[in-house]
Amino acid sequence: MMLLLRAGPAGRPVGVAVADLAVVGLLLPLSPVGAMLSMSALPPRYYGLVGVVLGLYAGCLRLARRPRGHSSPSGD
């Protein structure tokens, strides 16, 4: 989400941080630390649904950020 919402181009450190956070978010509920925090893993099909929702969101953001044509000042 952070990478999709950024205002300018993302550098390597931002991409690495986003990937690290995604890995932690996926693996933490499966670890003993996740159990101590009363976390549980999502059912497997939910991971696919989250992927679909994020994909649709990314597509909508790309459409919204697409450059639009400008009319000429002469009114043509």
CB 32 within 8 A of CB 41: no
pTM metric for this prediction? 0.56
Tokens, residue 20: 């690290």
Residue 33, pLDDT above cutoff 60: yes
The CA distance from 34 to 6, in Å, is: 29
DSSP tag of 76: -
The CA distance from 30 to 48, in Å, is: 17
Q: For the segment 47-68, what is each residue's pLDDT rounded down to a tens digit?
A: 899 889 988 988 888 888 777 7
Residue-level pLDDT at 21: 87
- Torsion, Cα 50 46 19 66, to 10 degrees, reads -10
Sequence letter at residue 21 = L
Q: For the segment 1-12, what is each residue's pLDDT rounded down to a tens digit?
A: 555 556 566 667
CB 13 within 8 A of CB 66: no
